[in-house]
Structure 1
């Protein structure tokens, strides 16, 4: 059967919507990248590991993706994971912007020089839309930046033993380490013993077992091509020869004495290395079987060992010999290193020491002071003082030890330094505390000595404001908490015949008064009352500024009439500091400021309640159809049909909304009847809501507006049997009311 043109068009349109929906539900698919052949190398195949170097670093990966198309400004980015396969901080390898219509292409990349590891992965990311492909398989990737044979030696010293042989005594060990590779600690290593790969991967290895040891850099699958295999060190073991240092294991040296340490194995062309506290101090030296310790050398005390090596013996380290100084002791000075001595004053200098039997000799200006043999000295003269202590106890008498020098000066003058306590900023703080922070004694050549701790409690003090004494302020600290006391502060002090004046500090406090501005409205509307900004703070005889959006607009009016939107603020200058008010934002009137939580056309079920809530305004008034105020809250509960009025006030502006409330019909009111006497749909039957209710009046009008029926408590009995219809189809109008209020109205079509 042939389809009509309209039917065909509908089918085509439906098919178009199906296809559109199919494509709309699809998204681009980015496939994981895979290794690709290098087109610049003949006969090459896809790589299985990246072994890059300074001589070759060109690799390719293949990438495919599926439509729909990406955006024209899209870029595809090839990213590399870390060596563990994680993309927390991926490295960008390549980026292309000209493949947005190519579904199968290759990225070319070079491996960054710092990359080394066995579990690198790659992925591709698109920028528009933002999508990420699955990660690739894991691959070994190494940049081979060192590809020469390594050289290993004991502790990386560079001394490769003759024949590459090191002999160890029972229980001994040796540390092997490469000595010819820069930044050795940044690489991973493969250590071998007699061809067996060991677990250690660090740059050094400590060995105790015999065998042939060598190492190479661990470049993963690329190791063989790097050519870093080292020389071989043969480790053999033997029986201890009993190496020791002759004599006692604990020795004491008095000042001026020396001690010759000698190994108990000598001759045979052996090599000796001497250690103090584990550090080489001599050697390795052939036939160097002795070492002399001199007590006149600072820091000679310590633990001494010797190591022997050579043909016919195994390498061995002796037990330690401890050498100490029996007469060493310390001196502590109990007074300040710098002392200011005022006229007629005396000071006591003293020291303490841990010497066994101390003898004291005091010095002034380098000359010994006679008849003073205790650890304390009373002085009344300026100069430089110190004491020498000699310990007369113990097996030997060490050299005297001198204390640190105490400098005693007589000042030419004093200077005070005052400072703010805590954080202070001009015109920000409402109080400030000043304090004497330092007292300096000044010599005749201008040199200063801090004598705060020594003299701060000896001065008499007087604070001054703008050069005038402040009554009662005679301590080292002063607190200012009133704007009326802003000004320049100094501290004056006296001691004996000395007078001292401090530096000057400016204190400019802000007022602790709160400046508040108020307004009769914040919304500006045409025809509304004027918006006025005011403050209760007295502005007469004060300097002030009204600001709008940070710009001064008025400096003379104590109240401000606003005729533009913006942010307003009042600033008063009080004692050279600004007193800043709160901000008031004046916005333009906009009916959208009134927000209703439901439609203004409400439908309710008779007997139930529907609540409508308004927000955004300053106040609200709800009126019924008779213009009666029924509520002043932000919400109203509607229970009856009708029209209501909401008036919302925004400062001096208002917004009015008409709210229409209608009942939801639980049963439909019929609008067609067939008055043909067949007993089906012959009468106009209303729902129970409107029928048989004596308070509900049903009135029906003909098409000329003439009333043809009216009944309270409608009995579902229209049209009556006596009603005649002179047309095949006639239209009537109905109106249903309760207490004079309209409930429903509409049309009825009567078909004969």
Structure 2
């Protein structure tokens, strides 16, 4: 009887154990490759399990990620569901790949915890977390390089690069593949590493090794040539397109890598210009000689800018006689030029052509602006000093003088019938009858000296006697 009881207990226990199991299907991936990065790292896997009723309330589903060879010996759990959150089949789980993921044959499995079960492995897929996925620079952005016969030219990834260069060398986990261009659209793999010693002429570049996920993490191209004899030539690189717009700043000229350098402008050595790069904002023919050790090389480039020339046809200082004017012409090669003329820093609204007639004394300037293409402005200054008319044609003898140096009524200016050359006698008296001025060659210059004002607005009297004996009499009030 005891044996029967033990047997019955074993059968019941075995039946309970079998009924508690589930089967999990092979995961179906919603992607063919996982190319993740800081801005995107979300993927989905769908699976089925059976029977639903055998899931326990504490069950969790876990996604395991293999190594890059599809091996689960040291798998990584990349997703764990909350206990009892997944109870219906089929189920879809969302997950992300680790930031260290890099390889071509990853796989995932789905396993449960209550009851314990595991699916078969998914299909293999490439997976890369692209921590750096922007263009970067090599060779200091110099697009040429040369080596002497029997030697080599070392290409390196710039680190940390510049403001616009997110160097991949900042991320130690990354690796790199170098390529040689075989056509504008094709290339062949050369070697791996952060540097490349080139001993074959060609155009080279490097990509961060993201396998089938490689996209935007690549370098500029560098053309490497072989120097077979002294005085061979290469191409100088300019940081700006030639011709360039000088107002946008200078251009930087770059030579190939060498041991020593000397730059020249129009055949004349530029003192102190002995570096691989030379920055300039001056037009001209530039050349550089480069010592490469066992050989040397040279190159030339003509720097031309799309700026314009301009000039005016008058000197900086101009003196004019009475009634004389000054016609000024601005000449320019500017595209769609604009002209603005100023007198004493005030815009002359009506003056907007290349010609202006100056009729007044003062400080003038003209601004010539190229309004299309390379927009820039050139300014020219000139002064006009007109001679003072000492004997203007006035009709009446004034009775007020204001010697305050404001340019108006500073002296007693009388009609031309009584001034120098007419032999008219001019006599001026104070109110006490004292003669303060007398001349038979009057220059329109009284008061010659500063008057001593003892009264407010003193009054003087005058008598003008012509050569024929005619007389003019009156008073003069001095005001400040």
* TM-score, structure 2 normalization: 0.42
Structure with the higher strand share, 1 or 2: 1
Q: Bigger radius of gyration, 1 or 2?
A: 1
* TM-score, structure 1 normalization: 0.28
